[in-house]
Amino acid sequence: MELYNYIKSLHLIFVITWFAGLFYIVRLFVYQIEANDKPSPEREILLKQYKIMTYRLWYIITWPSAVLATIFALLLLHLMPEWLQMPWMQVKLGFVVLLFAYHFKCHQIYNQLQNDKFNYSSNFMRLWNEGATIILFAVVFLVILKNAFNWIFGVVGIILFSILIMLGFRFYKKIREKNQN
């Protein structure tokens, strides 16, 4: 049981650093996109610095954290294979698949920005940043509440949370536009 607690602790540490990396990388994408609209030489200086920052964050923190979180999760499942039969774990693993899809999309955006391809607006990136937040909320509630979790209320709660994030984003966008004028 002591080995289990060490592995679980390491899993949680790397999940936390993985999410921190995902939250910050998208924020850096916002800054990089906005820097592209700056006049020269400010644009070139900022873009060079953001490329360095995103590279270090992505390959030194975010990717290693994702890999290590996954390794420790697989070790936990190896120690507790009965978890795979539990509905909360099956739903959690569905959200983990979504998290990896989100991560791979961030990797695609990272590659585009490293190659000076700006396919998204900074507003899109601000909204995109909330995807990881929604996944985080869903996974934490699933893990903590397990079988006590009422699926209907949970789904409704995630939808309401998503709507609140969208409304907050629109409100923030209006404030930013007002302050820019």
pLDDT tens profile 46-97: 999 999 999 999 999 999 999 999 999 999 999 999 999 998 898 899 999 9
Give the helix ranges, DSSP H, for the chain: 2-35, 42-56, 63-79, 87-114, 122-145, 151-180
Domain tally, the chain? 1
The whole domain housing 147 covers 2-180
Can you read off the two tokens belonging to residue 79? Answer: 């120690």
pLDDT tens profile 124-142: 998 899 889 888 988 888 8
Can you read off the two tokens belonging to residue 62? Answer: 């975010």
1 has a pLDDT exceeding 80 = no
With 0.75 as the threshold, say if the pTM is over it: yes
The whole-number average pLDDT for the span 144-173 is 74
Q: Write down the pLDDT at residue 152.
A: 61
Gyration radius from the chain CA atoms: 19
Residue 103 annotated as lining a ligand binding site: no
Burial string for 110-136 (b: 16+ CB within 10 Å, else e) reads: beebeeeebebebeebbbbbbbbebbb
147 has a pLDDT exceeding 70 = no
Residue-averaged pLDDT of the chain = 91
More confident residue, 151 or 173: 173
Q: Nearest Cα to 62, choosing from 93, 37, 27?
A: 27
Cβ atoms 123, 79 nearer than 8 A:
no
Residue 173 annotated as lining a ligand binding site: no
Angle at 1 between CA 143 and CA 99, to 5 degrees: 30
DSSP 121: -
What number of other Cβ atoms are within 10 A of residue 39's Cβ? 6
37 has a pLDDT exceeding 80 = yes
Q: Write down the pLDDT at residue 149.
A: 54
